[in-house]
């Protein structure tokens, strides 16, 4: 990992977006830009930072962390289910199989927690005991481990909020067939179990995460998007979790939760003017992202510090 000062010096060169006209029409999400190439797709993970359904600024090297972590996890889980990754031609770029993305986010939770509209703790605290079609027992506390992981799917919204789904709704709406749905559930549970085991050995609790699936050209189910990154997952520090839970304190997190907290403390939770993050805080978040990579993989994170990231990406994609 590089020093805080080097991160601050890199802020002006963070990757906001990239244009690759020779690779077709550009599609931009909150964090990624993608370009379709017939049976393949280029996915560029930028340094854009999102929360509360908005892009809040740029965090240097964040895109590189998400790309490398996804590569790590795709390799670690390829025996469970095939994924879309073909190669990583640039620190911010994945070349993947183009496929039909299933419009369901497979959110899987090992603990009852969260503050958003789609979280299970928010509903449980209000008195609901059947959430996402799943019955929960009385007496649960926030941040408590569940008897077994639960799948709480949502819609995959391009804009606005994701909405809750139940298994019954998924099948009634015929979003996927019952066979594909069973495959998705089986894969999600197996992926989560693998993720929890690897994280546990690194001193981390994989609290919850989300998976996205697609169908390839032969109609086969594959894993797409990203996997087990600090953007799509919640991580807690294992060694302090139990004591903090007993004292009714919030767990120490190793994800983008500090960013949500900072924005809330500065009066923003999705509406109004977006506060500007100071350089010191941007550096703190960048180092947090690099730190979670090092903790999970056991490898030192050495970012590419190119000042012209757009030029570097275009050069690395010349042979495609």
pLDDT tens, the chain, 320 aa long: 788 899 999 999 999 999 998 888 899 988 999 998 888 999 999 999 988 888 999 999 999 999 999 999 999 999 999 999 999 999 999 999 999 999 999 999 999 998 766 679 989 999 999 999 899 999 999 999 999 999 999 987 654 567 889 999 999 999 999 999 999 999 999 999 999 999 999 999 999 999 999 999 899 999 999 999 998 999 999 999 999 999 999 999 887 878 888 888 898 888 889 999 999 999 999 999 999 999 999 999 999 999 999 999 999 998 77
Distance (Å, whole) CA 314 – CA 320: 10
What's the pTM value of the predicted model, to 2 decimals? 0.91
Q: pLDDT value at position 160?
A: 55
Q: pLDDT value at position 116?
A: 67
Q: What is the 3-state secondary structure (H, E, C) of the chain?
A: CCCHHHHHHHHHHCCCCCCCHHHCCEEECCCEEEEEECCEEEEEECCEEEECCEEEEECCCHHHHHHHHHHHHHHHHCCCCCECEEEEEECCEEEEECCEECCEEEEEEEEECCCCCCCHHHHHHCCCCEECCEECCCCCCCCEEEEEEEECCEECCCCCCCCECCHHHHHHCCCCCHHHHHHHHHHHHHHHHHHHHHHHHCCEEEEEEEEEEEECCCCCEEEECCCCCCCCCEEEEHHHHHHHHHCCCCCCECCCHHHHHHHHHCCCCCCCCCCCCCHHHHHHHHHHHHHHHHHHHCCCCCCCCCCCHHHHHHHHCCCC
Distance (Å, whole) CA 112 – CA 117: 14
Q: pLDDT value at position 25?
A: 87
Packing angle, helices 257-265 and 279-297, rounded to 10: 160
Q: pLDDT value at position 117?
A: 64
Q: pLDDT value at position 134?
A: 93
The radius of gyration of the chain's CA atoms, rounded to the nearest angstrom, is 19
Domains of the chain: 4-100+278-316 (3.30.200.20)
Q: Which residue has the tokens 């506060």?
A: 275
Q: Which residue has the tokens 């009066």?
A: 267
Other CB atoms within a 10 A radius of the CB of residue 165 amount to: 23
Q: pLDDT value at position 310?
A: 93
Q: pLDDT value at position 1?
A: 74
């Amino acid at each position: 990992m590089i020093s805080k000062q080097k991160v601050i010096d890199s802020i002006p060169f963070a990757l906001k977006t990239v244009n690759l006209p020779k690779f077709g029409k550009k599609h931009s999400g909150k964090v990624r830009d993608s370009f379709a190439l017939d049976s393949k797709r280029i996915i560029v993970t930028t340094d854009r930072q999102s929360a509360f359904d908005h892009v809040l600024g740029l965090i240097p090297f964040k895109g590189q962390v998400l790309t490398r972590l996804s590569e790590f996890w795709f390799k670690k889980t390829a025996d469970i289910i095939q994924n879309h990754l073909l190669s990583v031609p640039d620190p911010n770029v994945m070349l993947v199989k183009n496929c039909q993305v299933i419009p369901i986010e497979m959110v899987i939770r090992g603990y009852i927690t969260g503050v958003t509209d789609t979280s299970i703790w928010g509903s449980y605290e209000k008195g609901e005991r059947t959430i996402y079609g799943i019955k929960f027992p009385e007496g649960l506390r926030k941040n408590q481990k569940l008897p077994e992981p639960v799948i709480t799917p949502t819609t995959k919204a391009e804009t606005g909020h994701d909405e809750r789904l139940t298994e019954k709704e998924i099948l009634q709406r015929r979003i996927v067939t019952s066979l594909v749905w069973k495959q998705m559930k089986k894969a999600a549970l197996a992926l989560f179990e693998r993720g929890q085991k690897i994280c546990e050995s690194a001193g981390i609790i994989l609290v919850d995460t989300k998976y996205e699936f697609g169908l390839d050209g032969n109609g086969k189910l594959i894993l797409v998007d990203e996997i087990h990154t600090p953007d799509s997952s919640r991580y807690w520090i294992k060694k302090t979790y139990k004591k903090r839970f007993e004292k009714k304190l919030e767990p120490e997190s190793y994800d983008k939760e500090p960013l949500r907290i900072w924005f809330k403390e500065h009066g923003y939770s999705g509406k109004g003017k977006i506060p500007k993050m100071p350089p010191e805080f941007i550096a703190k978040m960048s180092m947090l992202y690099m730190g979670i990579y090092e903790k999970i993989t056991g490898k030192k994170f050495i970012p590419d510090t190119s000042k012209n990231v757009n030029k570097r990406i275009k050069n690395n994609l010349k042979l495609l």
